[in-house]
Amino acid sequence: MMANSVELSLNQTESMMLQEPTQDNQDSPPIKGYTLSPLLFDSFNTISLDDLDKMKLLGRFDSKFVFHRSKLEPIISQMASDYHVLNIKNQTVFHYESTYLDTDDFKLYLMHHNGKPERIKVRWRKYTDIQKIFFEVKCKTSRKKTEKIRTEEPAVLSELNQAQSELIASLGYQDYCLKPKITISYDRITMVSKSENIKVTLDMNIRFENMVEAKELPHLVVAEVKSRRITPKCLFIEAIKKLGIRQGSFSKYATGTAILELVKHNAFKPELLLVTKINNERNAP
């Protein structure tokens, strides 16, 4: 089924993924970041942050794809005719830090794991390159649509303030004592369709970190196509499928939590197997 995992039983693969020794946060070396060719976006038209914000895709459907970083540049090189790329001060790759909140017994994570169609994720998102911070709540509806509520904030708080707590309670989570549980950092490229209201994000150099340990996935790329249509048709999806990359379910928060925490994770075995396979493809062309 998977080139580098075909002879492994599921339990063996989980052992590789979930029990691999990691270092304490203070001793963890920085991730060896994957960098793109500086000429890759020369043929692209650019879009500004102000124009990107006008898209208002806070209510949308997400299509996700996970693949090895060796496929990233060949995919991007085909997109210039149909997509703008976000450019801020001649920069096209931006660093993000997302700190996710959950209860001590990971109730929000378990809602996803147990297949609850209506659920939320709560996070602080820091855009380090432009020095902006947002408090965000992502609501998944029974129609698999994602609704996002966000407010810009001056700083990341260790505890929710009254307005944030009231927002969580208004969504039906009155008795949830939420605390920071895991920080996920990554580098992101954002492309926007020239003809439709479609946004594509490409995340690489992904790092999961909790209060005890960290896990880096330098070979992994997570692509998301964000659209108002549940099944968008666009050049990006056509190109990615030609490379044999299949659309699937993938959550960075769920995956990071399953890797770093002692939580139930049976429902995420396909995602963990895929991460292991890609992480082992160190010599991919």
Q: Is residue 186 part of a domain?
A: yes
Q: Is residue 219 part of a domain?
A: yes
Mark out the alpha helices in 7-131 (DSSP H runs): 10-18, 49-53, 72-76, 107-113
Total domains present in the chain? 1
Q: Is residue 58 part of a domain?
A: yes
82/86 Cα distance (integer angstroms): 14
Q: How many residues does the chain have?
A: 285
Q: Is residue 16 part of a domain?
A: no
247/227 Cα distance (integer angstroms): 15
188/201 Cα distance (integer angstroms): 7
Domain ranges, residue 211: 23-280
138/135 Cα distance (integer angstroms): 10
Instruction: Give me the amino acid identity at 250.
Output: F
Q: Is residue 148 part of a domain?
A: yes
Walk along the chain (285 residues) and give the pLDDT tens digit of each residue. Answer: 333 332 223 344 344 444 443 334 333 344 456 788 889 999 999 999 999 988 776 677 889 999 999 999 999 999 999 999 999 999 999 999 999 999 999 999 999 999 999 999 999 999 999 999 999 999 998 777 889 999 999 999 989 999 999 999 999 998 899 999 999 999 999 999 999 889 999 999 999 999 999 999 999 999 999 988 877 889 999 999 999 999 999 999 999 999 999 999 999 999 999 999 998 886 555
Q: Is residue 8 part of a domain?
A: no
Q: Is residue 1 part of a domain?
A: no
205/218 Cα distance (integer angstroms): 5
Other CB atoms within 10 A of residue 280 CB? 18
Other CB atoms within 10 A of residue 161 CB? 11
Q: Say which CATH number the domain at 136 has.
A: 2.40.320.10
Cα 271 to chain centroid, rounded: 13
253/243 Cα distance (integer angstroms): 26
Q: Is residue 132 part of a domain?
A: yes
